[in-house]
Each structure stands twice: as structure tokens, then as C-alpha cells.
């Protein structure tokens, strides 16, 4: 029976019926329609089986912790954005927020994160015929060939840029246009082109600025330009407009 077959009880109403939420008269009418529908009685059983499958695959305790953590994320972003003068580690910022935001700290079990909850950059370097993953702070040389990937973790829009010790700011994503790119939400996404390090001294820092809403590329570029000549530019958080989140990965240049 097709979903839009006339007379079929829509899934929407079935959900409400199963939860006992429909007004009495509407519930009676919906049950009557369900009884008259081929396979109708099986649909409620299937709904309950689906509930069991979902609860087994996504334990409420883990899911609740993950959701709570996501709900705290904007406050975390504010700490990073406004605390630009103090390049505090992200973990410390999270701890401060968790303890001052009116929400009780969660237990170690409850802090289990959903895969890719926080956006991040992944950096690979071509090494012979293979690629090696570089950790934040890894060393690199001029002419190393790097490949960037991002994990959007649900953030829908992003800008990826790099800053170097020579004071240059380079945009990598989007390649053109004035609005942040729509991010691919499926796991780690490679940028279309590799990036060859030049001979700028000191460091190369890649930054992913992301948000749930479209934003101007210039907001990210301007924030990068504002700090790129600072002595602590390799680690200093960008002073971004509220609502934008940032994550960086830095390679240290050696000769």
C-alpha cells in the first residue's frame, strides 16, 4: 500500500497514536482506519520494533550526553572568540563552560561523543607513494605536498584558509565566491587540490571556520588577516563574529 494511498493512516498520525497523544475521538477514528487498512495492525508492531532497534543502537544515556554537549557548543564558541587574548586549550575552555553554564558536569561515561561531533581538519603529507597523517604541531618543509580534509560534524557551512609565518592569508575553500561553502556532511572530505608548502618561515596554520548558517567568506579572511602578523599567530584564536566556530591545525616549518 503506497504511502499516499487514500485512506491509509499517515505515519505522522500513527506515531501520535502509538504515543497516546491523539484526542480520544481522533484516536478511535485512526484505529478504525488502521483496522480497515491491509497490514494496518502490523504497522503499530513495526513501529515498536523500530523503537527497540533505535534504543539499542543509540542508548539514550549516550545520546543525551551528546545532545547536551552540542547544545553547549555556542557558549564554547563564544569563549574562544572573545577570549582571543588568551590562547587557552580547547579542553580547558570546554571545562570552564561546562562548570559555569548552569549545567552540571557530566560523568566520563556521559561525555562519550558521537562520531565527528566537533568539526576538525585532517592533514596528510605525500610521502613517496603513500600519505602520512600529520598531527597538530608536526614539522614540515618547503615543497612538502599536503592534502587537507575536513570533518564537518554537522556544521553546514565552512571556510578553510591558511596563514603562514610570512604574513600571508590564503583561502582554500570555497575557491571563489563571497559566501562560505556548503560542507559535505559525510565523514572526512578531501579538498579537491593538494597544497605545496612554500618557503615562508615559521609555520603554516590551516583554519576551518564553520557555522550552521551561511556566512561571508570575508568574515573569516578578515579575522585571519587581523592576527597573521601577531607573534602568536600560529595559535591565537581568530576573533570571529558570534556564531562562527573555528578549528586549526598547524605545521611547524623546518629547513
Partner 1 sequence: MVLRRCRKLLRDEDRALDAMQDVFVLLLRNDARLVADAPASLLLRMATNVCLNRIRSTSRKPEDADEALLQQIAGDDGLESRSLARAALARIFGREPESTRAMAVMHLVDGMTLEEVANEVGLSVSGVRKRLRTLKERVAAEA
Cβ-contact 141, 253 below 8 angstroms: yes
Q: Does 182 bind partner 1 (CB under 8 A)?
A: yes
- The three-point CA angle 89-180-204 to 5° equals 45
CB nearer to partner 1: give 48 or 141.
48
Of residues 135-174, those binding partner 1 (CB under 8 A): 154, 156-157
CB nearer to partner 1: give 127 or 185.
185
The stretch among 5-13, 91-99, 125-133, 189-197 that binds partner 1 (CB under 8 A) is 5-13
Among 4, 52, 143, 255, binds partner 1 (CB under 8 A): 4
Shortest separation between residue 126's beta carbon and partner 1, angstroms:
29
Q: Does 8 bind partner 1 (CB under 8 A)?
A: yes
Which is it for strands 138-140 and 245-253: parallel, antiparallel or unpaired? Answer: parallel
Locate cell 562520531: which residue? 115
Q: Does 213 bind partner 1 (CB under 8 A)?
A: yes
Of residues 93-122, those binding partner 1 (CB under 8 A): 114
Shortest separation between residue 203's beta carbon and partner 1, angstroms:
33
Per-residue binding string, partner 1, 65-94, x by CB under 8 A, is -xxx-xx-----------------------
Shortest separation between residue 151's beta carbon and partner 1, angstroms:
11
Among 50, 99, 100, 139, binds partner 1 (CB under 8 A): 50
Three-state SS letters, the chain? CCCCCCCCCCHHHHHHHHCCCCCHHHHHHHHHHHHHCCCHHHHHHHHHHHHHHHHHHCCHHHHHHHHHHHHHHHHHHHHHHHCCCCCCCHHHHHHHHHHHCCCCCCCCCCCCCCCCCCCEEEEEEEECCEEEEECCCEEECCCCEEEEEEECCCCCEEEEEEEECCCCEEEEECCCCCECEECCCCCEEECCCCEECCCCCCEEEEEEEEECCCCEHHHHHHHHHHHCCCCCCCCCCCCCCCCCEEEEEEEEECC
Among 26, 100, 139, 229, binds partner 1 (CB under 8 A): 26
CB nearer to partner 1: give 71 or 92.
71
Among 62, 63, 142, 149, binds partner 1 (CB under 8 A): 63
Which residues form the interface with partner 1 (CB under 8 A)?
A: 3-5, 8, 10-13, 15-16, 19, 21, 26, 50-51, 54, 58, 63, 66-68, 70-71, 114, 154, 156-157, 182, 185-187, 212-213
Amino acid at each position: 500500500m503506497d504511502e499516499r494511498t487514500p485512506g491509509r493512516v499517515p505515519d505522522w498520525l500513527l506515531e501520535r497514536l502509538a504515543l497516546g497523544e491523539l484526542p480520544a475521538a481522533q484516536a478511535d477514528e485512526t484505529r478504525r482506519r488502521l483496522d480497515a487498512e491491509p497490514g494496518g495492525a502490523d504497522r503499530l508492531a513495526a513501529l515498536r520494533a523500530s523503537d527497540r532497534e533505535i534504543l539499542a543502537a543509540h542508548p539514550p544515556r549516550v545520546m543525551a550526553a551528546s545532545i547536551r554537549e552540542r547544545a553547549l557548543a555556542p557558549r564554547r564558541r563564544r569563549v574562544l572568540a572573545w577570549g582571543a587574548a588568551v590562547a587557552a586549550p580547547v579542553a580547558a575552555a570546554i571545562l570552564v563552560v561546562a562548570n559555569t553554564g548552569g549545567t552540571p558536569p557530566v560523568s566520563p561515561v556521559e561525555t562519550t561523543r558521537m562520531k565527528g561531533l566537533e568539526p576538525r581538519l585532517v592533514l596528510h603529507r605525500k610521502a613517496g607513494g603513500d600519505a602520512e597523517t600529520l598531527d597538530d604541531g608536526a614539522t614540515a618543509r618547503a615543497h612538502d605536498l599536503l592534502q587537507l580534509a575536513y570533518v564537518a560534524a554537522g556544521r553546514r557551512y565552512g571556510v578553510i584558509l591558511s596563514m603562514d609565518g610570512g604574513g600571508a592569508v590564503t583561502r582554500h575553500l570555497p575557491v571563489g565566491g563571497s559566501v562560505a561553502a556548503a560542507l559535505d556532511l559525510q565523514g572526512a572530505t578531501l579538498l579537491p587540490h593538494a597544497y605545496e608548502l612554500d618557503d615562508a618561515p615559521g609555520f603554516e596554520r590551516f583554519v576551518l571556520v564553520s557555522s550552521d548558517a551561511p556566512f561571508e567568506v570575508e568574515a573569516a579572511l578578515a579575522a585571519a588577516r587581523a592576527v597573521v602578523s601577531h607573534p602568536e599567530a600560529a595559535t591565537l584564536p581568530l576573533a570571529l563574529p558570534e556564531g562562527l566556530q573555528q578549528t586549526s591545525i598547524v605545521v611547524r616549518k623546518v629547513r
